[in-house]
Structure 1
Amino acid sequence: MLEISSLRAGYGALEVLRGIDLSISAGEIVAVLGSNGAGKTTLNANISGLYRLFGGSIRFEGEEISKHTPERIVAAGVIHVPEGRRVFPNLTVRENLELGAYRRARARRSANLDRVVATFPRLSERFDQKAGTLSGGEQQMLAIGRGLMAEPRLLILDEPSLGLSPLLVEEMFELIRRLNDDGLSVLLVEQNVVQSLEIADRAYVLENGAIAMQGAAEALIEDEGLRRSYLGLA
């Protein structure tokens, strides 16, 4: 579904990503793990067309998208839920959700709104409330719900557990698992190593702009180097 080859990218003259090779097949959850500054958000921004590559290729369902506008990438079904939620604080919950269908799936907005509310019943209780007054967990639900309004073929989640309480983190990862069980392909970009590997099919570990480790999630969670570097375990 998504194939990234020899990706080099950055900002101005600064090269952040140095030769990334990564792929996602339909129906997979693929985790990209790494600490702050490893290049995870830069990777997402380039997949979404927010920046131009220095070199390499990004193909979605066989089509080169690295020179497409963000609008065209969204229209193809690549939906990015950014780090920090980025809801429109002065708009209501309903208005935020409806904006999710602005570029894609507008004709099915009403049906998709019903589907999102079924996934996040708490949002239906807040429909007329300003998004900026929601709790952090509710804003994360809203951000993901807004992404689902566009009927994603690939959903990119950037640090969805960031800033949430342990209980809400558990709920968030269970939600991602359920969405995947319904057939949604997910690129999960996270610092939360253990819970990401518990739900992912495969994972890549990003260090200093390069892939340091990759493989099946169940194998990586047992890897001694990963356990020492990221989990603090001997």
Structure 2
Amino acid sequence: MLEIRDLVAGYGGVPVLRGVSLDVRAGEIVAVLGANGAGKTTLNRAISGLIRPDGGSIGFEGRALAGLSAPDIVALGLVHVPEGRKIFPNMSVRENLELGSYRRAKANRAANLERVFAIFPRLKERTGQSAGTLSGGEQQMLAIGRGLMAEPKLLIMDEPSLGLSPLLVEEMFALVARIAADGLAVMLVEQNVVQSLDLAARAYVLENGAIAMAGAAGTLKRDPTLMTTYLGL
């Protein structure tokens, strides 16, 4: 579904990603792991059309994404839930969710809204509440729900557990598993190594803008060098 080959990207001519190659297949969860500064967010921004790559290629369902704008990429079904939630704090929960279908799946807005409320009942309880007054966990649910409103074929989730309590982290990973159980492909970009590897089928480890390790999640989880050498844990 997603095919990245030899991707080079950065800012102001300074490379962050140095020849990254990875794949996400239909219906699978793939984890992309790495410490702060490894290049995870730059990778997400390049895939989503928020920055223009300096080299390499990105393909989605056989179509090259080079030159496409971020809205055009969303329209294809590749949806990015950004790090830090990026909700609209002064708008209501419902308004935030409805904006998720602005570029894609507008005709199915009502049905998708009910689907999101079924996954996140707490959002339904707070439909008219200003998004900025939600707890951190609820804001993360809102960000994911907004992404689901676009009927994604592939959902990129950037650090969904960031800033959450251990209990909410457990809940968040359970929700990701539930979403993926319906056949949605998920690229889970995380620093939370153990739980990401428990959830994913395959994983890639980014270090200094390059893929340092890749393979089946279960195999990587048993690799003694993963935590110490590449993630600094």
Q: Which runs of 5+ in 1 are unaligned?
A: none
If the length of structure 2 is used for normalisation, what is the TM-score? 0.98
1:121-176 Cα offsets, whole Å, 9 max, x none, are 00011001000000000000000000000000000000000000000000110111
Q: How far did residue 228 of structure 1 move?
A: 2.8
Map residues 74-89 of structure 1 onto 2, 5 A cutoff: 74-89=74-89
Give the aligned partner of residue 71 of structure 1. 71
Distance in 1 between residues matched to 2:118 and 2:232, nearest whole Å: 35
Q: Is the 8 A contact 1:74 1:104 kept in 2?
A: yes
Give the aligned partner of residue 204 of structure 1. 204
Give the aligned partner of residue 138 of structure 1. 138
Give the aligned partner of residue 170 of structure 1. 170
Distance in 1 between residues matched to 2:232 and 2:6, nearest whole Å: 29
Distance in 2 between residues matched to 1:66 and 1:204, nearest whole Å: 23
Q: How far did residue 231 of structure 1 move?
A: 7.5
Distance in 2 between residues matched to 1:86 and 1:205, nearest whole Å: 25
Q: Is the 8 A contact 2:35 2:232 kept in 1?
A: no
Distance in 1 between residues matched to 2:192 and 2:52, nearest whole Å: 28
The answer to whether structure 1 residue 22 and structure 2 residue 35 are counterparts is no
**What amino acid maps onto 2:34 in structure 1?**
G
Give the aligned partner of residue 95 of structure 2. 95
**What amino acid maps onto 1:42 in structure 2?**
T
Q: Which runs of 5+ in 2 are unaligned?
A: none
Give the aligned partner of residue 5 of structure 1. 5
Q: How far did residue 70 of structure 1 move?
A: 0.4
Q: Is the 8 A contact 1:47 1:66 kept in 2?
A: no
**Runs of 4+, deviation exceeding 4 Å:** none
1:39-89 Cα offsets, whole Å, 9 max, x none, are 000000000000111000000000000211001100000000000000000
Q: Is the 8 A contact 2:5 2:21 kept in 1?
A: yes
Give the aligned partner of residue 33 of structure 1. 33
The answer to whether structure 1 residue 184 and structure 2 residue 179 are counterparts is no
Distance in 2 between residues matched to 1:68 and 1:27, nearest whole Å: 24
**What amino acid maps onto 2:108 in structure 1?**
R
3-state secondary structure, aligned to 1:140? helix
Q: CA RMSD in A?
A: 0.8
If the length of structure 1 is used for normalisation, what is the TM-score? 0.98
3-state secondary structure, aligned to 1:197? helix
Alignment length (residue pairs): 232
**What amino acid maps onto 1:90 in structure 2?**
N
Q: Is the 8 A contact 2:4 2:59 kept in 1?
A: yes
Q: Is the 8 A contact 1:46 1:66 kept in 2?
A: no
Give the aligned partner of residue 125 of structure 1. 125
